Every structure is written in C-alpha cells, then in structure tokens.
Amino acid sequence: MNLPTDNNPDTPLPLSKTKKKKMAEKRQKLGEDLSRLSATQLKRLNLDSDLFKALVEAKSITANVAARRHRQYIGTLMRLVDPEPILAALERLKSSPIGIYSPKSPIDPQTDNNIQVFLDRLLAWDDNTIETILSTVPDIGRQHLRQLIRNANKDISRQKKNSKSFQALKQIIARILN
C-alpha cells in the first residue's frame, strides 16, 4: 500500500481539501472579475462558449440570491478551464494602449476629504457652493440639485448615509474636483 507518508519522491501528494477550496475560490473570484468586463472585451479573451454565455448573463441578473448562485455557477465553469491563458489575456487588456480595461481607481484621501467638505456645505444649503456647482456643471438644473440635497438630508435623518441621492451628490462634486 502506498501511503502519503512513504518517502517515495515519484508519487505526487494529493491536494488537501483546503487547497482545493482555495483554488476554487480564486477561480470564482476571477470569474467575478471577468463578469465586470463588457461583451466585446470578453470576446477578445477567447473563452469557452458556456463560460462566455454565463458571464454575459451575469450582467442581467439583479436579485442577490440569484446573482450569488450565478457567481457559483461561473466558478464551477471556471474550474473546468485553465486560468493561465485567461490571466495572460487579462494582462494584455490591462496593458493595452487603447485603454480597453480600466479598473476603478481608488480615490486619494485628499480628494475624498475635499468631496466631504463640499458635501457638508451642500447639505447645509450653502448658496455659494450651490452656485459654484451650477456654474461649473451646466447640465445639472437648480431644481434637480436642490431635490438631491433635500433627499440626501432626509436620508441622513433616517441614518441612510449611502443613499442614491447622497452618492449622486458625491459624483457631481467629484466631477467638479477633477
């Protein structure tokens, strides 16, 4: 009988359950990263047809439970393919001069602080800040901006700090600061 404790160098050791799970999780994470790419970007990766269909379908699934199940399905499909060519193709997309792959860049702390200062002024109904935004971003109407401020203030009173209105105001301010 050949046991893993035998000192036979020719016999490969079987993978532990933990290593198998970690490999599966890495492939599922790679599948999640791939699902964020557009269909044209996915076509450039020359993926398996089932995997390609699953990645494209992932964009249309919005329910949390269904999305989680679909991510697990993508992870299962990812275990059937070799990840090395996919990773190499992703690296080519990242380094492409056309800029096909553009991951979300983190906001530096100084910009985030500036956004927060502007946001605090807006939520305090500072007229100068409102006028600055209206003059800098012409495609936003005064009424729409005031509605966003009003809704964000309501959400703050309800302890909903990251509401849609709040996020929309942050995006508007980020456009000004960039």
pLDDT tens, position by position, 93-136: 776 555 455 444 455 666 777 788 888 888 888 888 888 888 88
Confidence band for 2, pLDDT divided at 50, 70 and 90:
low
Task: Give the CATH number of domain 17-94; options: 1.10.10.10, 3.40.50.1970, 1.10.60.30, 3.30.70.520.
Answer: 1.10.60.30
- 109-177 has the same fold as 17-94: yes
Kindly list the distances between the CA atom of residue 111 and the CA atoms of 11, 29, 96, 115, 171, in Å, as whole numbers in the listed order: 56, 29, 28, 6, 12
What fold does the segment set 109-177 form as a domain? Diphtheria Toxin Repressor; domain 2 (1.10.60)
